[in-house]
Every structure is written in C-alpha cells, then in structure tokens.
C-alpha cells in the first residue's frame, strides 16, 4: 500500500527520520548490556547475534521506507477527467 495523501507521506518521512535515532538508542550501553551475557544462540554469542540482527532489521526497515517514499506516481497531481461532458 502506497501513501494516499501528503499527510501519510509526511508520517513516513518523519518515521524514516527517526529510524537512525532508534538504532542509536538500541545500541546504547543500558540496552546492549542486556545481551552481554555468556549465552549463545546457535553457537553465536548473544551480543553478536543482537548487533547483527538489529543491523539487518534497520536495513530492512530503511529499505521499506525508501520504497514507500520514492513512488513518483503518488506525488504527481491526478490527470484531468477527459471523459466528462462539456470538455
């Protein structure tokens, strides 16, 4: 689904602006320290799995936002109605 109005596009743009800030927040020491345990996930240290999983998720969300915001058809004005009588 593409944004249907300028208000929706502005919301996507604002959310895309906040995405790096959310990534930075998720990498701050209070949160990242939760994953600094000696546990492993399929043989991978938990902290490494967290960092690469978060990195992958941020890339996927940024890719999704880029497709939502780059639709050139959406920002063009609608063509005039040439089928109505009197034209």
Task: Walk along the chain (87 residues) in steps of 10 and give the mean pLDDT of each run.
Answer: 65 88 93 91 94 96 87 58 64
Which of 71, 52, 57, 60 has the alpha carbon at shortest distance from 13? 71
SS3 string, the chain, reads CCCCCHHHHHHHHHHHHHHHHHHHHHCCHHHHHHHCCCCEECCEEHHHHHHHHHHHHHHHHHHHHHHHHCCHHHHCCCCCCCCCCCC
| Measured distance CA(35)–CA(49) in Å, rounded | 9
Q: What is the pLDDT of residue 75?
A: 53
Q: What is the pLDDT of residue 82?
A: 65
Which of 48, 30, 28 has the alpha carbon at shortest distance from 38? 48
Q: What is the pLDDT of residue 73?
A: 55
Q: Is the pTM of this model over 0.75?
A: no
| Number of Cβ within a 10 Å radius of residue 68 | 19
């Amino acid at each position: 689904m593409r944004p249907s109005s300028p208000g929706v596009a502005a919301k996507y743009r604002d959310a895309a602006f906040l995405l790096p800030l959310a990534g930075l927040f998720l990498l701050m020491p209070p949160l990242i320290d939760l994953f600094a345990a000696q546990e492993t996930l399929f043989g991978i240290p938990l902290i490494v799995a967290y960092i690469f999983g978060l990195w992958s998720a941020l890339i996927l969300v940024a890719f999704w936002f880029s497709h939502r915001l780059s639709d050139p058809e959406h920002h063009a004005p609608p063509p005039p109605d040439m089928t109505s009588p009197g034209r």
